[in-house]
Amino acid sequence: MQKEECPPPRSVERLPVEKSLGIVWQDGREGRVAYLTLRGECMCARCVDEITGERILDVEGIDPEVSAAEMSLVGNYALKIRWSDGHDTGLYTWPHLRRLSE
């Protein structure tokens, strides 16, 4: 399997009033992803079955007011978000964020 290439974004910022993440990519494209969408797209083992790839997170059960409490970079390949609901095990890789922001 070939590794997906996606350079890191120029900037990522929390937009609490809009309840979204604002992302500016190296190529100048700008995108926004709602917090609720991001939380529902977590790919960690608590949210997606590692063997089947089936989503096990009850997306309908996510608090619609969920917000990104903290964010940190993981190397040069992903963003880690600690959510207001306490969830913090997911990594959002640049290719995954790019897809979500388009």
Tell me the per-residue pLDDT of 25-47, one tens digit each, with 9 for 90 and over.
Answer: 999 999 999 999 999 999 999 99
The total of structural domains in the chain comes to 1
61 falls within a domain: no
- What is the average per-residue pLDDT within 48-73? 96
90 falls within a domain: yes
- What is the average per-residue pLDDT within 54-77? 95
Strands, sheet with 91-93, edge to edge from the N-terminal-most edge strand? 68-74, 78-83, 91-93
Per the structure, the complete domain to which residue 41 belongs is given by 11-56+69-101
The predicted structure's pLDDT at residue 1: 44
**CATH classification of the domain holding 44:** 3.30.2020.30
63 falls within a domain: no
Helical segments of 42-102, H only: 94-101
Phi/psi region, residue 3 (left: phi>0; alpha: psi -120 to 50; beta: rest), is: beta
pTM of the model: 0.91
- Kindly report the number of other CB atoms within 10 A of residue 3's CB atom: 7
For residue 18, what pLDDT band results from cuts at 50, 70 and 90? Answer: very high
Question: Is the model's pLDDT at 4 over the cut of 90?
Answer: no
Question: Is the model's pLDDT at 61 over the cut of 80?
Answer: yes
Tell me the per-residue pLDDT of 71-96, one tens digit each, with 9 for 90 and over.
Answer: 999 999 999 999 999 999 999 999 99
* Pairing of β 20-24 and β 30-34: antiparallel
